């Protein structure tokens, strides 16, 4: 057992206090997860053991023959680096593995008496304005291998550091030697978070430097930039962080419950700013996900928040920490929906019939506000696109349904007595007339989530039988642009769409029902051609997706600034490309055709069922067939189909009858170019259900596409006002796959099943 020598401690009480502080410091050294943490955090605790003003702990960097230390300057971490040579006291101690005890560092005679080559580097004193006098420096060794140097500076009260001080510092150095060796052995040989990736040849050091600079310009994390630009797998990023910080890497797990007790004293804004979050607590150990496990300031703050617990740190990506915070506080900031309803009942007593006497609850009551916020927040968490609030007549409860991946699912039933207050609250949020209950109303809500994310909701109220009102809220989550390569286009459709999008002028239409992803596809296509050489104007209602390089305009029909007016203004603003959110009327359609004929590339959407039907629809609106045929480049029809959950989908071998039925549905005459032969190895997939997909067997959606290219033959049919079937037949002969055919091919690829394809398309 180590013998602790007590420097200048005369009383038994002082010796006992010193011993306790020493043991506490030893524990801190051994519990530090990295050398970096020792340099930044533990040094201050070691200093309390000595009668000195300052302390510096150096670690060895064998690659550069230097010793280095770190210190905090405000909130920034700075580094000191000293060569292993006789040009400084610490360098001399490292070079000779000798102990140096100096009364005055500026006394050249005293230094030369130790070694004629020994010199004191005054650089640090000049930078700080302090004057170094007494110095005691001891090498940190492990089995005679140099690990670093520890030095204490300026003895309080003056005079040389005592022999007791020296022996005590040697004992601390022995402990540091063991700790440094263990941290190095556990893989902490890297000086950068991404050195592991460099050592594996995934990127170069120059790539890391470039990524750091570019990520700062784009205001994203370096990790996100590396994963996006260099296609670094997330698992490799995690391993790189693990070996650098010396602690486990943790990813996002949406099944981890919110640690309500640990979050009770915390503010989500504080956690987002500091980038850490508690995950759980077991056996007195709080597990914390943090972006920088070596950050001393964060350690101290966390220790204050959880004084009676041991903290175990796990490194995580900032984006995933923010996802944890958003989800935890979405659950923890307010009670569950059932608890809110219970509190409403408790507040009003058991006489719920009183609530039916209209205004027992007002739209401004805190419980009603909390209830509506809960409905919206839960909809975002469950990836819902729409919220349906459906009051019933009499004393039947209110049904609340979410549309998730295109399908309505029951979310909650709420006692009937709150129907007026809930509807009124939503009207207040969307600036609608709460006294008007006989006519439909439309409005919008800008809703700020606890995570800091802002979402827009499009609100529609509709009077229904019995004097009640339904409310439907569509969630318009603002986001970035998906690359065209990620839009699930087949190779032929991808090539065809890119080909027509790169034309200098003409019209491209994306068609389909509401919520089929038309705007997402348009923005992906615009991103494909978005270069500094092109001026691109967009008119949208609302602007859901923002994209750098586009000049985006929000139309306001209530003041007469509709799509047609926006297009006319664009034509006076020197455009190369124009995107119009929707062709709702003849004027907008005619303006779009004229713009495409005068040298502009025009993109727009239309609500039609298929690409060939779009032609007939526009001609029926009154568009001149000759002009339309000349301007049209192509029409992309689109649907969104639910995809099988990748975690639980089950492979099976289809029967010959099932296979033949799918081929017949596809069209046997069109099957040969895409033929997937019936063999014993053929596999289709069916839904199963798990926690990830909420037992539905499906998670997420993907696009089905039908691309009609305006060839010479198609233009001739348009000019002749031919039927939908005639246009479809020619298109298929020239390589067009229908929506149904594209869906069947994606069934064979394992993305979805035939049931879901048949739900969204007929032909």
How far is the C-alpha of 115 from the C-alpha of 98, rounded, in Å? 11
For residue 517, give the DSSP letter: S
Do residues 302 and 288 touch, judged by C-beta distance below 8 A? Answer: yes
Name, in order, each residue with C-beta under 8 angstroms of 129's C-beta and a sequence gap of 6 or more: none
CA torsion 479-482-488-490 (nearest 10°) is 150
* Mean of all residue pLDDT scores within the chain: 84
Least confident of 36-50, 169-183, 691-705, 729-743: 36-50
Give the strand pairing for 650-652 and 684-686. Answer: antiparallel
Least confident of 192-206, 504-518, 576-590, 621-635: 192-206
Sign of CA dihedral 125, 129, 134, 140: negative
Q: Which residue has the higher pLDDT, 481 or 696?
A: 696
Element (H, E) at 652: strand 650-652
The burial class, CB within 10 Å (0-12 / 13-18 / 19+), for 230 is: middle
Tell which residue, 614, 619, 617, has the closest CA to residue 736. 614
For residue 106, give the DSSP letter: T
pLDDT, tens only, 532-551:
888 999 998 877 777 888 89
Instruction: Give residue for tokens 């079937």.
Output: 725
Q: Residue 40's pLDDT is what? A: 74
pLDDT, tens only, 256-314:
888 888 887 788 878 888 899 999 988 888 999 998 887 877 888 888 888 888 888 89
Q: Residue 203's pLDDT is what? A: 85
Whether the predicted pLDDT of 345 surpasses 90: no
User: What 3-state class would DSSP assign to 548?
Assistant: coil
Q: Residue 330's pLDDT is what? A: 62
In total, the chain counts a number of residues equal to 763
pLDDT, tens only, 470-528:
999 998 866 667 788 888 899 999 999 999 999 999 999 999 988 888 888 998 999 88
Whether the predicted pLDDT of 357 surpasses 80: no
Structure tokens at 406: 């295109």
Give the strand pairing for 76-83 and 100-102. Answer: unpaired
How far is the C-alpha of 540 from the C-alpha of 524, rounded, in Å? 15
């Amino acid at each position: 057992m180590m013998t602790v020598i007590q420097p200048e401690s005369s009383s038994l009480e002082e010796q006992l206090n010193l011993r306790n502080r020493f043991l506490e410091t030893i524990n801190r050294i051994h519990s530090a997860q990295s050398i970096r943490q020792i340099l930044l955090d533990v040094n201050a605790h070691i200093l309390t053991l000595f009668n000195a003003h300052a302390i510096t702990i150096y670690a060895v960097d064998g690659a550069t023959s230097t010793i280095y230390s770190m210190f905090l300057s405000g909130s920034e971490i700075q580094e000191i680096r000293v060569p292993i040579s006789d040009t400084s006291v610490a360098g001399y101690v490292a070079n000779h593995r000798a102990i140096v005890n100096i009364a005055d560092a500026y006394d050249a005679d005293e230094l030369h008496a130790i070694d004629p080559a020994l010199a004191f580097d005054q650089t640090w004193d000049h930078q700080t304005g302090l004057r170094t006098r007494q110095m005691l420096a001891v090498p940190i060794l492990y089995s005679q291998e140099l690990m670093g140097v520890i030095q204490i500076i300026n003895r309080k009260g003056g005079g040389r550091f005592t022999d007791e001080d020296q022996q005590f510092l040697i004992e601390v150095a022995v402990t540091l030697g063991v700790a440094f060796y263990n941290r190095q052995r556990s893989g902490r040989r890297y000086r950068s978070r991404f050195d592991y990736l460099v050592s594996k040849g995934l990127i170069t050091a120059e790539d890391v430097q470039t990524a750091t600079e570019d990520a700062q310009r784009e205001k994203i994390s370096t990790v996100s930039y590396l994963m996006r630009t260099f296609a670094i797998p997330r698992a490799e990023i995690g391993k790189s962080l693990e070996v650098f910080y010396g602690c486990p890497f943790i990813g996002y797990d949406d099944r981890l419950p919110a640690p309500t007790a640990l979050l009770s004293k915390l503010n989500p804004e504080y956690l987002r700013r500091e980038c850490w979050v508690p995950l759980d607590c077991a056996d007195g150990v709080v597990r914390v996900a943090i972006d920088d496990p070596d950050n001393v300031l964060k350690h101290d703050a966390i220790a204050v928040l959880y004084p009676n617990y041991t903290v175990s740190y796990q490194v995580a990506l900032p984006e995933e920490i923010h996802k944890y915070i958003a989800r935890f506080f979405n659950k923890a900031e307010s009670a569950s929906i059932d608890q809110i309803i219970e509190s409403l009942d408790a507040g009003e007593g058991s006489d719920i019939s009183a609530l039916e006497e209209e205004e027992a609850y007002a739209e401004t009551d805190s419980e009603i506000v909390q209830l509506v916020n809960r409905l919206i927040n839960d909809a975002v968490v469950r990836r819902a696109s729409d919220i349906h609030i459906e009051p019933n007549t009499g004393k039947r409860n209110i049904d609340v349904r979410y549309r998730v991946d295109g399908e309505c699912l029951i979310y909650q039933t709420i006692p009937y007595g709150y129907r007026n207050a809930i509807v009124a609250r939503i009207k207040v949020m969307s600036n609608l007339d709460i006294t008007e209950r006989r006519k439909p109303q439309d409005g919008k809500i800008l809703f700020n989530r606890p995570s800091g994310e802002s979402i827009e909701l499009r609100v529609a109220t509709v009077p229904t039988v019995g004097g009640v009102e339904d409310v439907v809220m569509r969630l318009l989550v603002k986001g970035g642009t998906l690359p065209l390569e990620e839009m699930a286009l087949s190779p032929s459709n991808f090539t065809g769409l890119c080909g027509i999008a790169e034309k200098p002028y003409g019209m491209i239409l994306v068609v389909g029902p509401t919520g089929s992803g038309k705007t997402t596809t348009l923005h992906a296509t615009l991103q494909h051609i978005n270069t500094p050489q092109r001026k691109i104007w967009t008119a949208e209602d609302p602007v859901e997706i923002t994209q750098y390089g586009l000049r985006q305009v929000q139309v306001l029909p209530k003041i007469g600034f509709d799509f047609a007016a926006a297009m006319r203004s664009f034509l006076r603003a020197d455009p190369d490309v124009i995107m119009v959110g929707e062709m709702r009327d003849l004027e907008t359609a005619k303006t779009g055709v004229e713009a495409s004929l005068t040298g502009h590339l025009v993109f727009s959407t239309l609500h039609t069922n298929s690409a060939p039907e779009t032609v007939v629809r526009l001609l029926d609106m009154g568009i001149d067939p000759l002009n339309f045929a000349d301007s049209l480049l192509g029409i992309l029809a689109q649907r969104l189909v639910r995809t099988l959950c990748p975690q639980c989908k089950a492979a099976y071998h289809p029967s010959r009858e099932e296979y033949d039925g799918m081929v017949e549905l596809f069209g046997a005459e069109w099957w040969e170019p895409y033929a997937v032969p019936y063999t014993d190895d053929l596999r289709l997939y069916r839904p199963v259900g798990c926690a990830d997909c909420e037992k539905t067997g499906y998670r997420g959606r993907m696009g089905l596409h039908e691309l009609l290219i305006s060839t010479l033959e198609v233009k001739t049919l348009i000019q002749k006002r031919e039927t939908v079937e005639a246009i479809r037949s020619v298109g298929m002969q020239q390589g067009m796959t229908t929506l149904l055919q594209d869906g069947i091919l994606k069934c064979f690829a394992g993305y979805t099943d035939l049931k879901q394809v048949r739900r969204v398309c007929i032909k």
